[in-house]
Amino acid sequence: MIEIPVHNTSGEQVGTVQVDEQVLGGEVRHGLLKQAYVRYHANRRQGTVRTKNRSEVSHSTRKLYKQKGTGNARRGDMNANILRGGGHAFAKRPRDFRQDMPVKMRRLANRNALLAKLVDGEVKLIESISFEKPSTKQFGTLLQALKVDRSCLVALADTTGPAGRSTQNIDDVTLTQIDRLNAFDLLNHRYIVAEKGAFEQYIARITEQAAGDAGQKTEQEVAA
């Protein structure tokens, strides 16, 4: 079991939360995490870039100067790729960069990324985050109390409340709903900040999910 300290808004530890590492994959699978990260990154690409090749640029096809006698290198028209305004040697074309991954692998990668953060002690749990009104200064003070000095992913159950809106103007802080945590966002930030209650509900949900995946696998093995 992994024990995660729970802090109050002053940064003092007031309790712990226990998480079974077997639910999160048991061990950090670096190959799986890289595959999931590359997939998320590739799926975010629009794939709409297009450049012109030598036959598509609009220039005269006249030879710039005669072949011999000038002392210069042999040169054709202005469409050559080594000249300014010329076409691209390997012109880019629109394409689909999307990659696929089985559902169970995606779920395991998300849980495994969270396990990596827990092993490194980069998950900061707060007993309760309650602001009367949005306050960037107040949330910044909270991060300082938690000793968050690098990029941070704030995972809340409700991102539209005062606490969520307080994160909008803080550098290197990204806001997300806790039920939308994925390997890409987890690995792109050093720390994770979440409320204790919301985090426990998230762990309970992925525990049921992991049990369901394991049960389905067992049934398939028996059938085989």
For 154-167, the pLDDT digits (tens) are: 999 988 889 999 99
Residues 117 and 36 in one domain: yes
Residues 190 and 124 in one domain: yes
- Write out the E strands in 21-99: none
Residues 113 and 195 in one domain: yes
pLDDT computed for residue 160 by the predictor: 87
Tell me, what CATH number does 155's domain have?
3.40.1370.10
For residue 206, pLDDT over 80 is answered with yes
Residues 134 and 173 in one domain: yes
Residues 127 and 202 in one domain: yes
Q: What are phi and psi of 117, to 5 degrees?
A: -70, -40
Range of the domain at 118: 2-44+101-223
For residue 129, pLDDT over 60 is answered with yes
Please give the model's pTM, rounded to 2 decimal places. 0.80
For residue 222, pLDDT over 70 is answered with no
For residue 217, pLDDT over 70 is answered with no
Residues 181 and 80 in one domain: no
Residues 31 and 116 in one domain: yes
Residues 29 and 79 in one domain: no
Residues 131 and 33 in one domain: yes
Residues 131 and 218 in one domain: yes
For residue 218, pLDDT over 60 is answered with no
Residues 186 and 216 in one domain: yes
Return d(Cα 37, Cα 20) in angstroms, integer.
24
Residues 85 and 118 in one domain: no
* Number of structural domains in the chain: 2
The structure tokens listed for 57 are 């640029």
What are the b/e assignments for 78-95, b being 16+ CB within 10 Å?
bbbeeeeebbeeeeeeee
